[in-house]
Chain A
Amino acid sequence: MAIHTIKLGIEGSGVSLSKDVSYTQAGVNLIDGEAVANGQTDYEINFDLDISACVSFYLVSDQDVTFETNSGASADDTIALLADKPYVWYTNAYDVCLITTDITAGVFITNASGETATIYCVALYDVTPA
């Protein structure tokens, strides 16, 4: 089993709070620091995810990139990732997940940031969903 902890906090105006949101599951899918050169359009990365079984999802890039699922030409879901601003979702999150369709055919990165982007995606999922 893997334990993934998402750290959520706030610092400012005299407030200092940090909360951990942890989940334990056996299924883990990773994009582990994939480098995507500037000027790449629809750079494919092998990654799949049954979104209905996902319990936590963390996606970050150190440059502005476009993250698309299943197709670069006709993506099921598209996230315009901003540099160093992670997209985070977890079970019981207050917002619906931006990934709405199972990822079965990889993800596609378009990088026009001017710099090489490094992508991390960490998904934790239930391998035996009900």
Chain B
Amino acid sequence: MISITKDTLRQLNVAVGKLDVDTGEVFVGFVGRLHVSDGLYHGDLRWAEAGEDPPKDTVSVKSLLAPSKPKPPSKSKPKPPSDAGGDIGDKPDGDPHD
């Protein structure tokens, strides 16, 4: 059982009849229904054997289902306050504790 948005459902409907490069089978479609509680379509994906004459059009159903990934958090060090002066990594001139 998967849960998808209507936009994803629309994309999956376009993919029906195409050869799924991830499974090597023909994508038959999504079967399910809307759940008002979360506004998502819950159901299952269906494939069929490609047979001897598989469709030439291909699709990656897996990629259609992949949620848009959020940008990873920046690994750069936080910038010092603008009034700190100097470049990042520079040691301050003279350490008061020295």
Contact = CB atoms under 8 A, between A and B. Distances in A.
23 contacts: A39-B13, A40-B13, A41-B6, A41-B13, A42-B6, A42-B10, A66-B33, A66-B34, A78-B36, A80-B33, A80-B34, A80-B35, A80-B36, A82-B33, A110-B34, A112-B9, A112-B29, A112-B30, A112-B31, A112-B41, A112-B43, A113-B33, A114-B31
The 8 closest A-B pairs by CB, nearest first: A64-B33, A114-B31, A80-B34, A66-B34, A41-B10, A39-B13, A80-B36, A112-B32
Nearest to B17: A39
A126 B60 CA distance: 52
A39 B6 contact: no
Interface in B2-55: 6, 9-10, 13, 16, 29-36, 41, 43, 46
Interface residues of A, number: 16
Interface string A26-42: 00000000000011111
Given A65-B33, A80-B36, A112-B29, 5 more contacts: A42-B10, A64-B33, A78-B34, A80-B35, A112-B41
Contacts of B33: 64-66, 80, 82, 112-113
A32 B59 CA distance: 37
A63 to B, nearest CB: 9
Contacts of B10: 41-42
Interface residues of B, number: 16
Nearest to B46: A114
Interface string A44-63: 00000000000000000000
A50 to B, nearest CB: 25
A39 B34 contact: no
Interface in A68-84: 72, 78, 80, 82
A40 B29 CA distance: 11
B48 to A, nearest CB: 13
Nearest to B35: A80
Contact of A39 (B29, B36, B41, B43): B29
A112 B34 CA distance: 9
B61 to A, nearest CB: 14
